[in-house]
Amino acid sequence: MKKQNSRTYLYIALGGLVLIIALIVFYMLTPVSKAEQTQYLYIDDDDTQDSVLTKLGDFSHTAGMTGLKMLVRHSSYGDHIRSGRYAIKPSEGAFMVFRHLKNGQQTSMMLTIPEVRTTDRLAAVLSHKLMLDSATIADALTNQEICQELGYDTCTISAMFVPNTYDIYWNIGIDRLLQRMQHEHDRFWKGDREQKAAAIGLTPIEVCTLASIIDEETANNDEKPMIAGMYINRLHQDMPLQADPTIKYALRQFELKRIYNKLLQVESPYNTYRNEGLPPGPIKIASIKGIDAVLSYVRHDYVYMCAKEDFSGTHNFARTYQEHLKNAARYTKALNERGIQ
């Protein structure tokens, strides 16, 4: 009788053990996500155990997700939360995902630097893609000391950003972000571009400044080397650039369709009608096409240009002021006929 009871207890214990193992397998190894595509969990520096659980609640409810929540809730995870962007793949169970969270094994992301006009706008765009808030980014880009440490000032810092796509971590700090951008800038310029800039007597910052103006003059990449040649001719002849985009930048009125004479009187170092040479810095983050257009500018003898009256986005070029006035008259007439103010 005792042997029979012992066997019964043994079977119950074994059954209980099997059940426990089955539950562990069910909750811990069952996929956390029902989604067919990889999803991402974003954990901030100020997240707590409770807020992480709340974020996990936004994902589909599965046995695996229940297991993950149990691990987050009933472990020491709350004492060592690591920020980052964590991938939750369809095939991964609770143990795997939790190990990534606990060890800080986050997934990098592709960050594209946009061709925006102002550092405020750059800060706003980047803040939507990174853990950094816009104020932190904007403060750094307008801090003279920080800019000088990187080899720029607050007017030229935008020349450090090359509008490319970079593999980067979502929770990168502002210092490391700026150092990374400086590294990518140096790699972009090293070699052929640096040599071309030196050959035409411009620094990389000056090339970016001129390229930013050309970018604002036209979206037609094929015409950009031609426009670059026109502006370089003006620089060589000590003529004011007289670039309308710099007036828009000085006024911070980028929507302007026409630049009237009264606007040309604006007091600003960016007013290239009143000041000779290049403005203090780029008026946007220059495109790679714009930069390369300056470095490989077309040699010609044009010193004037005016938008074409067909609104194609291209320009009529002129060697003399009299010829330029004729081109300008045709364009002005076309603007008037369309009622563009």
pLDDT per position as a tens digit, 248-259: 999 999 999 888
As a whole number of angstroms, the distance between CA 238 and CA 147 comes to 30
For the record, the structure tokens of 250 come out as 């000085």
At 311 the three-state DSSP class reads coil
Q: Which of 28-32, 209-213, 264-268, 319-323 has the lowest mean pLDDT?
A: 28-32
pLDDT in tens, 86-131: 999 988 888 889 999 999 999 999 999 999 999 999 999 999 999 9
In what helix (H) or strand (E) does residue 101 lie, and over which residues does it extend? helix 94-103
Give alpha helix (H) positions in 153-191: 174-189
Angle of CA points 174, 176, 180, to nearest 5° = 115
Token pair 């077309």: residue: 298
Task: Judge if pTM exceeds 0.75.
Answer: yes
Segments of 238-299 assigned E as strands: none
As a whole number of angstroms, the distance between CA 332 and CA 65 comes to 65
Sequence-distant (6+) residues with CB within 8 A of 251 are 263, 266, 268
Give CA separation, 240 vs 81, 154, 216, 274, 340, in Å. Answer: 57, 23, 17, 7, 27
